Amino acid sequence: MVWDPALEIAFHPTVVAMVGVSADAKRSEHRPSGGATFIAGFEQLGFQGRIYPVNTKATEILGYKAYPSVSAIPEPVDLVVISVPAQAVPAVLEDCITANAKNIHMYTAGFEETGEEEAKELGLKVRQIALRGGLRIIGPNCVGLLAPKSHLTTLARLPLEPGPIAFFSQGGGQAEDCVDFGSPRGLGFSKVVSYGNALDVDESEFLEYLAQDPETEIISAYIEGVRDGRRFFSALKGATSQKPVVIYKGGTTEAGQRAARSHTASLTSSVAVFNAVCHQLNAIQVNGLEELIDVLVTLRFATPLPRGTGVAIVGAGGSPAVLASDAMESAGLQLPNLSPEVQTKLKQCLPVEGGGFTNPVDATNLVSPEAIYAALCVVGKVSDIHTLIYHLGFHPLSHWGNGRLSSTTYLQAAIDAFTQAQQAADKPVMLVLRPPPDLVGMKEFLATQKAFVKARFPVFHSLYNAAKAIARVVAWGQA
């Protein structure tokens, strides 16, 4: 079995019906709710197609012509977004069949995940209607779709640049988080899907679709349960043979599995089997959403991808050097020793009192862009070093670089130094920039991160995070 071409239409719709918008929905509300939220999202992203609210009591909602049913809409409907109460869903689906509207995003919750008999039966009924009518349902119990290139979103988010990352997620919260926390790190998305209970379209079909999707270069996922083990194996095999696939598995403990049943009605299969399959097929498994984002950032921006486990760290402070070393080595990376010749060269370009010239290179954060460039070039020439990490200062309240990074000229000069060193070494330069605890520092942090991200550097928020992500990507590349 392969992915249904209907999915392609679901992600690139021209005509969208919104079932479940109140007749008196107002744009002036601080936060619109229900179906009006989805309309607001589409408007924010500048959707180019046509939107039809469906409501039996209104002829116009929020300035859009409303119809009493999907089948009453006078043109073919590409996507139906359903947010009516669960009891009302079967009738809406029958109407979709009448209208020949195949693609459904079902926001409505209250099915199998409640654990209640009646709700389970309702879910079964929904599935039977869908099968009979050839409907393709994303959901139920999910936030839905985001496709920046199509200006499509049921995940109300700010205007976003499209990009080559796909993320499909059983959890709506994870889908939103991936966008909210990934975007400032430079991640642009081809498609983001929250697919909830996976009553119809499931993780295997998303894998199959995204594996061949020309807009997607890197696939990532948050999965609670696998619906069809055999199909999943084959879909994952197909996907990993073409693109990197990064997977975060929820429900890895007994309590987590119980919660997954009550969240998306997922019957999580054996974690050991899942892990073994990922290992065998070289999917990159991660243990949290932050780690998922870190790995995506590495895959997307490391130039070139690291070719081995050797890391050199250049940056501020002696204590960070100890922690950095522990972080790197416990993640499975190495910090090769520097030969006396290399140390001598470093001494020449880093005239820093009290600095050390072993690896990590404890340069204080007072050094000039020229010195940064020279030092990175020296360690970049060492053959068993494959990745160069520059660690920006550790003292938020004194502002890293003693305030010099806040100056646009210094920041641009530092970026140029990193860029040139990366090219000269033909090894990736990655940056560690730590979020400070105060608002003034945070403002500076975000501006600095933005500048580095714009220059297409992987930026991590701690040495531990960098270490884990690099180790995952190196292991993936060497498998």
Contacts of a copy of itself in 138-197 (CB under 8 A): 141, 156-158, 169-174, 176-177, 180-181, 183-184
* Region from 129-137, 379-387, 420-428, 438-446 binding a copy of itself, contact rule CB under 8 A: 438-446
Of 64 and 181, CB closest to a copy of itself = 181
Minimum CB separation from a copy of itself for residue 446, in Å? Answer: 6
Q: Does 34 bind a copy of itself (CB under 8 A)?
A: no
Q: Does 8 bind a copy of itself (CB under 8 A)?
A: no
Residue linked to tokens 């009891």:
87
Residues 203, 206, 212, 215, Cα dihedral to 10°: -130
Of 116 and 121, CB closest to a copy of itself = 116
Of 14 and 275, CB closest to a copy of itself = 275
Minimum CB separation from a copy of itself for residue 129, in Å? Answer: 21
Residues 341, 346, 348, 352, Cα dihedral to 10°: -140
d(CA 20, CA 4): 26
Of 154 and 264, CB closest to a copy of itself = 264
Residue 109 per-residue DSSP state:
-
Q: Could you give the string, one character per residue 269-308, with x where binding to a copy of itself holds by CB under 8 A and - elsewhere?
A: -------------------x--------------------
Token pair in block for residue 407: 């100056």
Minimum CB separation from a copy of itself for residue 198, in Å? Answer: 14
Most distant CA atoms of the chain, gap in Å = 82
Q: Does 358 bind a copy of itself (CB under 8 A)?
A: yes
Residue 310 per-residue DSSP state:
B
Amino acid making up residue 252: T
Q: Does 117 bind a copy of itself (CB under 8 A)?
A: no
**Among 74, 214, 255, 270, which residue sits at the site for a copy of itself (rule: CB under 8 A)?**
255
Minimum CB separation from a copy of itself for residue 11, in Å? Answer: 22
**Sequential DSSP letters for 227-276:** S-HHHHHHHHHHHHTTS-EEEEE---SHHHHHHHHHHH------HHHHHH
Using an 8 Å Cβ cutoff, are 236 and 207 in contact? yes
With vertex at residue 344, the alpha carbon angle to CA 338 and CA 346, rounded to the nearest 5 degrees, is 75
Four-residue CA torsion sign, 109, 114, 119, 124 = positive
**Among 48, 98, 241, 262, which residue sits at the site for a copy of itself (rule: CB under 8 A)?**
262
Q: Does 442 bind a copy of itself (CB under 8 A)?
A: yes
Using an 8 Å Cβ cutoff, are 364 and 316 in contact? yes
Q: Does 120 bind a copy of itself (CB under 8 A)?
A: no
d(CA 221, CA 169): 5
Q: Which of residues 96-115 bind a copy of itself (CB under 8 A)?
A: 109-110, 113-114
Minimum CB separation from a copy of itself for residue 263, in Å? Answer: 4
Minimum CB separation from a copy of itself for residue 290, in Å? Answer: 9
**Among 9, 15, 72, 259, which residue sits at the site for a copy of itself (rule: CB under 8 A)?**
259
Amino acid making up residue 139: G
* Region from 145-153, 226-234, 244-252, 375-383 binding a copy of itself, contact rule CB under 8 A: 244-252
Lay out the sheet containing 103-106: strands in order across.
50-54, 15-19, 79-82, 103-106, 136-138
Minimum CB separation from a copy of itself for residue 439, in Å? Answer: 6
**Among 118, 121, 329, 370, which residue sits at the site for a copy of itself (rule: CB under 8 A)?**
329
Of 71 and 114, CB closest to a copy of itself = 114
Minimum CB separation from a copy of itself for residue 8, in Å? Answer: 27
**Among 31, 214, 341, 409, which residue sits at the site for a copy of itself (rule: CB under 8 A)?**
31
Q: Which three-class secondary structure string do you get for 319-348?
A: HHHHHHHHHHHHCCCECCCCCHHHHHHHHH
Using an 8 Å Cβ cutoff, are 225 and 234 in contact? no
Q: Which of residues 379-418 bind a copy of itself (CB under 8 A)?
A: 394-398, 402-403
Of 70 and 389, CB closest to a copy of itself = 389
Q: Does 222 bind a copy of itself (CB under 8 A)?
A: yes
**Among 251, 401, 428, 458, which residue sits at the site for a copy of itself (rule: CB under 8 A)?**
251
Using an 8 Å Cβ cutoff, are 395 and 436 in contact? no
With vertex at residue 296, the alpha carbon angle to CA 292 and CA 300, rounded to the nearest 5 degrees, is 175
d(CA 393, CA 399): 8
Q: Which of residues 40-99 bind a copy of itself (CB under 8 A)?
A: none
Of 60 and 180, CB closest to a copy of itself = 180
Distances (CA, A) of 38 to 20, 171, 196: 10, 18, 17
